[in-house]
Amino acid sequence: MRRIEILAFENAQLLDITGPLQVFASANEEALAAGQPKPYDAIAVARSEQTGTTSGLSLATALLPDDDEPIDTLMVVGGIGVNKACEDAALVDWIRRRSARARRIASVCSGAFLLAEAGLLDGRRAVTHWHRCKEFSKRFPNVRLEPDPIFIQDGNIWTSAGVTAGIDLALALVEADLGRKLALAVARELVVFLKRPGGQAQFSTMLSLQESGDRFDRLHGWIIDNLRADLSLPALAERANMSARSFSRHYRQATGRTPARAVEDIRVEAVRRLLEQGLSVRQARIRCGFGSEETMRRSFLRAFGTTPQAFRDHFG
3-class DSSP assignment, residue 34: coil
Instruction: Report DSSP letters for 164-220, one per residue.
Output: THHHHHHHHHHHHHH-HHHHHHHHHHTT-S----TTSBSS-HHHHHHTT-STTHHHH
Separation of alpha carbons 284 and 278, rounded Å: 9
Query: How far apart are the C-alpha atoms of 263 and 255, rounded to whole Å?
Result: 12
Q: Is 109 a catalytic residue?
A: yes
With beta carbons less than 8 A apart as the criterion, state whether 107 and 78 touch.
Answer: yes
Reduced to 3 states (helix: H, G, I; strand: E, B; else coil), residue 49 is: coil
Sign for the CA dihedral angle at 69, 77, 100, 27 comes to positive
Which positions ≥6 away from 205 have C-beta within 8 Å?
262, 265, 266, 268, 269
E strand or H helix at 301 = helix 293-304
Give the count of beta carbons closer than 10 Å to the beta carbon of residue 39. 20
Bridge partner residues of 105 (DSSP): 74, 157
Q: How far apart, in whole angstroms, are the C-alpha atoms of residue 116 and residue 31?
A: 34
Cβ count near 102 (within 10 Å): 20
List phi, psi (to 5°) of 4.
Answer: -115, 120
Question: Residue-wise over 157-169: b if at least 16 C-beta within 10 A, else e?
Answer: bbbbbbbbbbbbb
Which are the catalytic amino acids?
109
